[in-house]
Structure 1
Amino acid sequence: MGTRLRHLLELLDGDVSKSYSGCGIENYKPRYTPVMRTLMRKGDVTIGEIVASAQLSQPAVSQTVKDMVIQELVEIVKGVDARERKVRLTHKGASLLPRLKAHWQATVYAEKSLNTELPMPLSDLLDTAISALETNRFQDRIQRQLPEEIKKQ
């Protein structure tokens, strides 16, 4: 199952990345989108605010922001409190927003097109699977199936 999920993600993200390049949005990765959307909606934000808004892990957001700083899409600035660090769009990042918004809208239409070929919308299936795993973790499901003699003592 993990192999199929990774393959699905590679197919989706790979084509989305190629599409960004085809629109002249070079070096933009799909994983930047939750950060860009949060900044677009809220302005300067902390890593923690991005984590909460995007429902991603803190390490994933920190790594993504670090990569976006290298791409000069965002910068890290001091907040009101000198200890607080905020993420801010750079001029380059802000200038991409009109093209990104158009691309995101096209991506929504592409998702709808894909969903017409599936027995149920992919996003609904993913949401259902996530909810089921949050209720009953996969690790617990595995443990219940293991023979007692190979479970950890």
Structure 2
Amino acid sequence: MPDLQSPGPHALDPTHESLWRPLRLLQDSMDADIARIYSEERIDGLKPSFVMELLRLHARGPMTITELADSVHRTHSALSQKVAAMRAAGWVRTVVGDDARSKKVMLTDQARRVVGRLAAEWRATEAALADLEAEIPYPLSRVVADIEQALERKTFHDRIAEKLAEDPAWS
């Protein structure tokens, strides 16, 4: 007979429950499908997470890490790490910027050779997403907009802080 007084493994490890894990797993699966497209086309070493920055550099030309980060709404630190990974994979190179403290990021010849195909993939992916959204009763883009509106009313920080204030384990 089970001991009803002792907590189960889920009580000790709250990570077994996650409302957003399925969304992350779905996005990972979809990114893997995009990566498979690249692999099938022998575009080796390209991660789907690099494409926005590569397309942005193609459209706007060389930018500092700060400019590129601002243009894709990422932090300088996150973009600096991504640029390092893209540089290691051969997609971008960096040169000293206008002042010695900054670096300009630019596409390599390897990236320039495939950037048209990357733009085509971006358009195809957006069209496929539009098709998916047409098949479901409540499109994810609407969910995101609704969540953004709710967070304008009360920030996620404030919502978490309120829940923590109710939890004796936090005090």
The count of corresponding residues between Structure 1 and Structure 2 is 153
Unaligned ranges ≥5, structure 2: 1-18
Q: 1:19 to 1:135 in 2, by over 3 A?
A: farther
Max Rg structure? 2
* Alignment match, 1:61: 79
1:101 partnered with 2:119 = yes
- Kept in 1, the 8 Å contact 2:55–2:115? The answer is no
CA positional deviation for 1:148: 4.1
Q: 1:59 to 1:39 in 2, by over 3 A?
A: same
Identity %: 35
* Alignment match, 1:83: 101
CA positional deviation for 1:26: 1.8
- Kept in 2, the 8 Å contact 1:35–1:54? The answer is yes
- Kept in 2, the 8 Å contact 1:51–1:58? The answer is yes
Aligned counterpart in structure 1 of residue 129 of structure 2, from 87, 90, 111 = 111
CA positional deviation for 1:125: 2.0
Q: Deviations over 1:1-40 (max 9, x none)?
A: 1311211211221111112212222221111022112201
- Kept in 1, the 8 Å contact 2:64–2:104? The answer is yes
Q: CA RMSD in A?
A: 2.1
For 2:118 and 2:24, how far apart are their aligned partners in 1?
25
* Alignment match, 2:48: 30
- Kept in 2, the 8 Å contact 1:77–1:85? The answer is yes
Unaligned ranges ≥5, structure 1: none
For 1:134 and 1:94, how far apart are their aligned partners in 2?
40
For 2:115 and 2:144, how far apart are their aligned partners in 1?
27
SS of 1:82's partner is coil
- TM-score w.r.t. the length of structure 1 is 0.86
- TM-score w.r.t. the length of structure 2 is 0.78
* Alignment match, 2:14: none
SS of 2:63's partner is coil
SS of 1:150's partner is coil
- After TM superposition, which residue ranges in structure 1, 4 or more long, deviate above 6 angstroms? none
